[in-house]
Amino acid sequence: MRFVLAVKPFAGRRTAVARSYLDALIAAGLVALFVTTFVVRTFYIPSVSMVPTLQVRDVLLVDELAYRVGSPAQGDIAIFRPPLETSEDYIKRVIGLPGDRIAITNGTVFRNGAALREPYENQPPKYDLSIHGYRIYVNGVALDPHQADIPARSLWPAPNRIPNGYYFVLGDNRNYSDDSHVWGFVQRKRFVGRAFLTLWPLARLHALAT
């Protein structure tokens, strides 16, 4: 009888330990499900528009929570829905924020009058760009507001500054990228997430710095 009484508490403790491990596994599984469903997603690179930072067929991890709790920052590699008739998300680098002045002259990008240092750029853009008169001009020709997202004047803080609630984005491979120099600004609500890690191939595993 003494032997039986000694075993029962031990068996109870073993069951409690097993149950605690099971609870931990269930909790971890629920956290992983939440993270993969609502916080982190993968993104496949289909084009050369972000070379050399991102190569065709790279697989990235994207933080979908970043722009739910904060706003895009200058230098972010952002995923967004472009102002085009497409169901695909795009990936570009955020260059200008609401209220910024952006210009491209002789292959150099200027933000608020200062030349950007862009070690990630594949090659200097072969076009000039300016924002003035409530329009984006590329090589002296204004983007057509019927084909590009150029918001109403009421949203512009000044004729030469990025409208409120809008962003200016460019691909790192400047001369092989459809971006803000083609289809205009990106509205804040169109941003999906911020890419933060190249996951695949393993030889290119690295964090993406702004």
Count of structural domains within the chain: 2
**Predicted local distance difference test score (pLDDT) of residue 13:** 58
Domain that holds residue 115: 45-207
Same domain, 30 and 105: no
Of 34-43, 136-145, 190-199, the least confident: 34-43
CA distances from 151 to 35, 83, 122, 148, 189 (A): 35, 11, 30, 9, 14
Checking if the pLDDT of 91 tops 90, the result is yes
pLDDT in tens, 40-89: 999 999 999 999 999 999 999 999 999 999 999 999 999 999 999 888 99
Which listed residue (8, 20, 47, 49) is catalytic? 49
Same domain, 83 and 98: yes
Same domain, 4 and 70: no
User: What distance in Å separates the CA atoms of residue 204 and residue 206, rounded to the nearest whole number?
Assistant: 6
Q: 49 an active-site residue?
A: yes
Same domain, 34 and 57: no
Q: 189 an active-site residue?
A: no
Same domain, 21 and 102: no
pTM for this predicted structure: 0.82
Same domain, 33 and 87: no
Same domain, 114 and 55: yes
Same domain, 49 and 91: yes
Long-range CB contacts (within 8 A, 24+) of 117-125? 118/172, 120/52, 120/53, 120/93, 120/172, 121/172, 121/174, 122/51, 122/52, 122/172, 122/173, 122/174, 122/175, 122/176, 123/173, 123/174, 123/175, 124/174, 125/170, 125/174, 125/175, 125/181
Same domain, 53 and 18: no
Which domain CATH number covers 159?
2.10.109.10
Same domain, 49 and 16: no
pLDDT in tens, 104-128: 999 999 999 999 999 999 999 999 9
Same domain, 93 and 190: yes
User: What distance in Å separates the CA atoms of residue 93 and residue 181, rounded to the nearest whole number?
Assistant: 13
Same domain, 123 and 180: yes
Residue 81, class by beta-carbon neighbours within 10 Å (0-12 exposed, 13-18 middle, 19+ buried)? Answer: middle
The residue-averaged pLDDT of 24-37 equals 37
Which listed residue (8, 87, 92, 189) is catalytic? 92
**In the beta sheet, which residues pair with residue 44?**
59
User: What distance in Å separates the CA atoms of residue 49 and residue 194, rounded to the nearest whole number?
Assistant: 17
